[in-house]
Amino acid sequence: MAARPYWRGQIRLALVSIPVEIYSATKSGATIAFNQIHEPSGKRIKYEKVVPGIGPVDVNEIVKGFEYAKGEYVLLDEKEIEGVKLESKKTLELTQFVDAQDIDMIYFEKPYYVVPADDLAEEAFIVLREALRRSRKIGLGQLAMRGREYVVSIKACGRGIVMETLRYADEVNKAASYFREIADSDPDEELLDLATTLIDKKTGKFDASDFHDRYVDALKDLIERKKKGKTLNIDDGAEKADPRGSNVVDLMAALKKSIGSGAADKTAAKKAPAKAAAKKATDKPAKAPARKRA
């Protein structure tokens, strides 16, 4: 069965409108959810909504409340909340374009694939896609979906366009409050050279399929074993951390070992000519002072 669009509408750039469909670009199929089970009976545990001192209550008697002070609530019913939801407008108007590096990655939230809605929209869609690619810009606008208004960005992606919802400024914690205690100092040059060499050695093209959630894989294996009546032997013989702090190692030695002797020797060789020149100057005999004529 074909995927259903998350949103249908049009992207508007000045007087040009392009009919598009938007599909979620991600899925949560990799996660494993558990239910709580009453072990003696094997039945699933249910949850009741209760009020202290009263007991279970009917779901029709429940409303939503916002706590504006300790123990003080403003009560709102569903009709009142629905009344302030934004109508899902069918137009995403691009109001600004920025360089890709101008937006910190922490603001990007959820990606969606954008495709032309029909053959008639394809030509204008391709023109917009290639204009974004050639200019290396990201388009910005605001879009109301399912009662909420989002700041969104669009950028070229292969044959299509990717739209991403962005977090608002008040949804992001300021980095300065977390990083202010870190020293503002320059690292040792030799250590920096070694670390850079290690990064270069491990640099390659990104392929998402190279990475797997090993915890989820192990859970699936455990579940299959249990279904077949098998048990899983847990190895308690793993190495334990030395409480005396043996994990504190010499950074220089660790970096050299990580890179390998060849790369480490190459880094050391950069400094060898300068050291040799300095030694040569030191070893050169001093010139004897000229004798005064009698």
In a domain, 39, yes or no: no
> Cα–Cα distance between 155 and 131 in angstroms, integer?
10
Residue at 65 is within a domain? no
What does the pLDDT read at residue 123? 94
Q: Say if residue 286's pLDDT is above 50.
A: no
14 and 109 co-located in one domain: yes
- pTM for the full model? 0.66
Q: Is the model's pLDDT at 137 over the cut of 50?
A: yes
Residue 110: name the closest of 43, 184, 166, 56 by CA: 166
Q: What pLDDT, on a 0 to 100 scale, did the predictor assign at position 261?
A: 55
Residue 89 within a domain: yes
Same domain (yes/no): 16, 146:
yes
Q: What's the domain count of the chain?
A: 2
Rg (CA), the chain: 32
Q: Assess if residue 150 is contained within a domain.
A: yes
Residues 139 and 192 in one domain: no
Cβ atoms of 86 and 149 closer than 8 Å: yes
d(CA 10, CA 20): 5
Range of the domain at 257: 187-201+250-276
> pLDDT of 214-272, one tens digit each?
777 888 888 888 888 866 565 555 555 555 444 445 877 887 787 875 554 555 555 55
